[in-house]
Structure 1
Amino acid sequence: MHLRSSYRYAGVLGGLLRQRYQYSGFRQFRWYSRWRKETLPRGDGKNNSGRLDIPFEAHYKIRSHIEMLIQDYAKKPIPPITYQYLTQYKPPLQNNEQYMLSIQTVNLLLCYTCRQLQAIQNLPYIVVLNPNIELTNSLYLSTLETLLSVDYPYGLHHRDTMVSLLTNFLEEHQDTLTTLAAGFQEVMKFYDHEHVFRFLNLHLRNRISMKMLVTHHLGLLEQTDRFHQGITSNDIGVLYKDLKISSLVEQVGEFVNDLCSISYDRNVPVKIMEGHDVTFTCIPTSLEYVLTEVLKNSLRAHIEHSNSENLLTQKPVEVTIVRNDNELQIRIRDFGGGIPPAVEEKMFDYSYSTVAEKKNDTGAEAYILPGENVNNVSGMGFGLPMCKAYMEMFDGRLDIQSLWGWGTDVYIKLTGPSKEML
C-alpha cells in the first residue's frame, strides 16, 4: 500500500479523532480511568475489604468495551516505516506540520499498542497468568489509557503535551523486554517454543517501530528548537545526513572491546582497510546495533580460538567500507575459524545462540535494542535475526559467508534515502 494513501486515515482529522469521542468503549475507558484515579489512589483496584468497588455487570461491560476498542485498532492497517515517512517533515517544523505529525504518531502508537495487547491476550491462559507477562500487559494498557487521555484534538496542538507523552512512553517501556523475557523463561516448559518465538518476533518488530516513531518525533521537535536557537543540524529526526561511517565503526569497536575486557580480559584490534572518508545518510542507532552484534561475534571468535600458534587476539578484524550512490556496503572479516555447518543452519533462528546459558542469566541480553544498555558480550540469541530485521526495514540486507576452519565474512548492505527526499 502506498504511503500517502495508507495515511489517509491518520491525516483526516475528523475521522478517527471524532470517532474516538463517540465510541462507547472509549467513553467507558475514560470513565473507568477517572474512577480509578479518584477512588483508588494506590492503583490496586480494590477497596479496604479487598473487593472491587464496582458492580460486576458494570465491570464486565467496561471490560467488553475495552476489548472491542483494542480489537478495532489492532485491525487497522499500519504502513511500514519508510524513508519517505521519515523525511515528509524536516526541521524546522511549522505549527501545522507539528500538528499533523502528532496526529500520525499518536494514531500509529494506538494501533501498535492495541496489536501488542491483542497478541498478549491471545496467548494461552497459563502464559498470561505469569506475573511478568501480566505486568507487561498492564503496562500496555496503561499506555493505551495515556494515549486516549489526550484532549483530542486540541491537546495535539501543545508541544509540551506531546513531548511529555512521548518521553514518558520511552521511559515506561525501557524495561519492557527484560520483564517479558523473564516471564517467558518461566513458562517455556508449559508452552510450545515455536509459538513463543513467533510471538516474540512480532512483539520485537512492533516495539522497534514504536520506539522509532517516538524517537523520530522527539528528534524533529528538538532539532526545531535548536534551529530557532541558531544551531544548525544534519539530522532529520532519527536520520543523520552524511554520517562518517568509519568513526561509527571505531566507536563500536572500542565499545565491544570494553565488553571483551570485562568478559575475557582480552582485546582484539579492529582495522578499517578501506573507506575511511565514506559518509552516508542513515539511522545511526540501527547501524550501531548491527555493527555491535557482528563485531561481538567476530571478536569473540578471535578470543575463543586464539592460541600460542595463531595469536588471533593480535590479528585484527578487518572492516571494508564502500559506497555506491545511495547504497552502502560494509564487509567485516574475521579469522576466528568460521561457523560450524550445524550452527550455520540456525544462526538466523530466533533464540538460537552458540553461547552456553549462564545459571543466573535472565535472558534479557537477547532483547537489547538500539539506544539501550548492553551488559554482556555474548548470549544474545536474537542478535543476528534482529540485525537482519533492522536491515530489511529499509530495503537493506545482511549476508554471511563462512569458511569452516578459516573465518567469516559479514556483508552489511544499506539503502539510503534518495537525494530528492533530503
Structure 2
Amino acid sequence: MRVILPRLRSVQTFLDFYSQFNPSPLSIKQFIDFGRNACEQKSFIFLRKELPVRLANIMKEIALLPEVLLTTNSCSQVSQWYAKSFEDIIQFEKSEPTPKILQNFCNTLVMIRNRHSDVVQTMAQGVLEMKETYGDSVEATMETSIQYFLDRLYMSRISIRMLINQHTMLFGQLNEDKGRHIGCLDPTCDISAVVRDAYENSRFLCDQYYLCSPELKVTEHNEIDNLLPINTCYVPSHLYHILFELFKNSMRAVVEHHDHDKSDQLPPVRVLISRGHEDICIKMSDEGGGIPRSSVDHLFKYMYSTAPQPSKSDYYTVPLAGYGYGLPISRLYARYLHGDLILLSTEGFGTDAVIYLKALSDEANELLPIFNKTSSKFYKATIPTGDWSNQVLRHINAPRVLRRRMQKQ
C-alpha cells in the first residue's frame, strides 16, 4: 500500500487521513514467505503505514458508539489507549530505517502491545457499567450496534497483535532460535498436540474444582494423503485459545450433568480431527446434557453473557472469568483467518463444537473490519441490517402482508 502523506497539522488530521484507506489483509502464506526471508527495514516500512490504517479504522467506529457506552469510564480508557498508540506510531511516518530508529520502533510496538493487553476486560467492564446505570432501558437496536462493534473491535485487536507479534518476535531484542517457528506461526503445527495441551490444562482446572474430570479420546482422519498426525501452518496460540475455552465448557458440563460425586464412569470428551481439500475440521463432542436450541445464539452475545456476575460454579481462573467472553472471542480467533466456530447441541444429551481452519495457507487470509459508509450507517440503523433474522421475520410476516394486499384488492 502506497500512501502519499500531505502536510498534517494535528493527530485528528492524521486520523481522518488514514481512516480513508482500507487495511491490507495478509494470508498465512504471506506471513510465512516474508518471515523466511525477513527484512526488518521492509517490515518497518509496511507497518508504519498499515498499523495507523488499522488503528484509524477502528477508532472511527469507537466514536460512533452509543453515548451510554462511550461515556463510561472503561470505554473512555480504551479510547485513550487507542489514541495514544496511534500517536506513537505516526511519529515514525517520515523516519529513515536506521538501526536506532528500528530499535525504537520495535520498543514502541512492545509498549503498544502491553498497553492494549487489557482491552477486552476493560471494554467488558464498560458494558457492565452501562447495564448497571441504564438497566433494561438499553434498547435492542443499541444492543445490536454494541454487538457489531465489539466483534469488530476485538477482531481488529487480534489482527494488530498479530502484526506486532510477528515483527517483535522476528526482530526484537528477545529474538532467539525458536526452532521451526516463524514468529508466532508454526509451519507444521501438530493439531493433536495442541488439542492435548489444551485438554491437560483444562483438566487441571477441572480437577482442582470438582476433584475429577472426563478423559480425552482423539481420532484423526486425513482424506488427502492419509499422513498422521495432521499438520498445518497456523498460529498455535490462537488454536490453543479456542480449544482451551471449549474444553473448559465441555468438562464442566459433563461433570455437572453426570453428578460429580458419583463420577467413576464419566463419559469422555471426544475430539475428531479431519483434513479435507478445503478445510481442516476439529470436532469436539461431549455428553454434558446439551443446551436448548433457543440459547445457542446467546452464547456468542456480549450483552447477554456480561449480564450475570461470576457464580460459585464458575471454576474459570483465566482473566475473562465472569464476563462470558470466551466463546465470542474464540469464534473471532477462528474467523480471523477465514475459519469458523459453530456449536451444535442435542438437548438432553450433549454438544458438538466444530472448529474450521483453512487447509491451504494461501486461502487463510485475514478477515479485517473496514470503516466505510456502510459500517457507519449500521450504528444509526433503527432496524438491524444485513442480518439473517430479517429473512426469518420476513418469512413469519409474509401471511400478514399477503392478507393486507388481498384486502386492498
Which bin holds the TM-score, normalised by the shorter protein? 0.7 to 0.9
Counterpart AA for 1:178: Q
The reply on whether 1:80 has 2:32 as its aligned counterpart is: no
What do the CA deviations read for 1:367-398 (whole angstroms, capped 9, x no partner)?
Answer: xxxxxx8246x655333333332222223232
Post-superposition Cα deviations, 1:14-38, rounded to whole Å, max 9, x if no partner, equal x44xx26x2222xxxxxxxxxxxxx
Asked whether 1:316 is paired with 2:259, we answer no
1:191-270 correspondence runs (5 A): 191=138, 192-221=142-171, 226=176, 231=177, 233-270=179-216
Task: Identify the range of structure 1 (154-163 vs 70-79) with the bigger mean alpha-carbon deviation.
Answer: 154-163
Q: Residue 334 of structure 1 contacts residue 407 of structure 1 at CA under 8 Å; is this kept in 2? A: yes
**Cα distance change on mapping 1:222 and 1:328 into 2, 3 Å:** farther
The Cα shift of 1:118 comes to 2.2
Indicate conservation of the 8 Å contact 2:29/2:361, yes or no.
Answer: no
Preserved contact between residue 351 and residue 382 of structure 1 (Cα < 8 Å): no
Partner letter of residue 152 of structure 2?
A: L
- SS, match of residue 288 in structure 1: helix
Quote how far apart the aligned CAs of 1:177 are: 2.4
Deviations along 1:284-332, whole A, 9 cap, x unmatched? 1111111112112211110111127984873210112223467422121
Deviates more, 1:152-161 or 1:213-222: 152-161
Q: 2:318 aligns with which of 374, 392, 413?
A: 374
Aligned residues: 349
The structure with higher relative contact order (CA 8 Å, sep 6+) is 2
Cα distance in 2 for partners of 1:194, 1:115 equals 20
Structure 1 alignment gaps of length 5 or more? 1-7, 10-14, 26-65, 366-372
Relative to the length of structure 2, the TM-score reads 0.75
Gaps of 5+ in 2: 222-227, 365-409
CA contact (8 A) 2:169 2:175 kept: no
Question: Does residue 1:183 correspond to 2:126, yes or no?
Answer: yes
* Corresponding position: 1:142 with 2:84: yes
**Is residue 215–residue 268 contact of structure 2 (8 Å, CA) maintained in 1?**
yes
**Deviation of residue 72 (structure 1)?**
2.1
Post-superposition offset of 1:409: 1.9
Deviation at 1:235, TM superposition (A): 1.9
Seen in structure 2, the aligned counterparts of structure 1 residues 162 and 303 have a Cα distance that, compared at 3 Å, is: same
Letter in 2 for 1:208: I
- Tell me if structure 1 keeps the 8 A contact 2:27–2:361: no
How far apart, CA to CA, are the structure 2 residues paired with 1:241 and 1:120?
Answer: 36
One-letter code of the match for 2:41? Y
| Whole-angstrom distance in 1 between the partners of 2:55 and 2:73 | 20
Structure 1 stretch 201-210 or stretch 326-335: which is displaced more? Answer: 326-335
What displacement does 1:232 show? 7.0
Q: Are 1:294 and 2:246 counterparts?
A: yes
* CA 1:313–1:185: 2 relative to 1, 3 Å: farther
Q: Is the 8 A contact 1:302 1:313 kept in 2?
A: no
Which has the higher mean CA deviation after the structures are superposed, 261-270 or 175-184?
A: 261-270
Cα offset for 1:167?
Answer: 0.9
The one-letter amino acid of 2:330's match is C
Quote the residue 1:109 is aligned against: 51
**Counterpart residue number, 1:357:** 309
Give the distance between the partners of 1:354 and 1:176, measured in 2 at CA: 15
Q: State the partner residue of 1:167.
A: 110
Q: In structure 1, what is the equivalent of residue 392 of structure 2?
A: none
Distance 1:308 1:87 in 2: 46
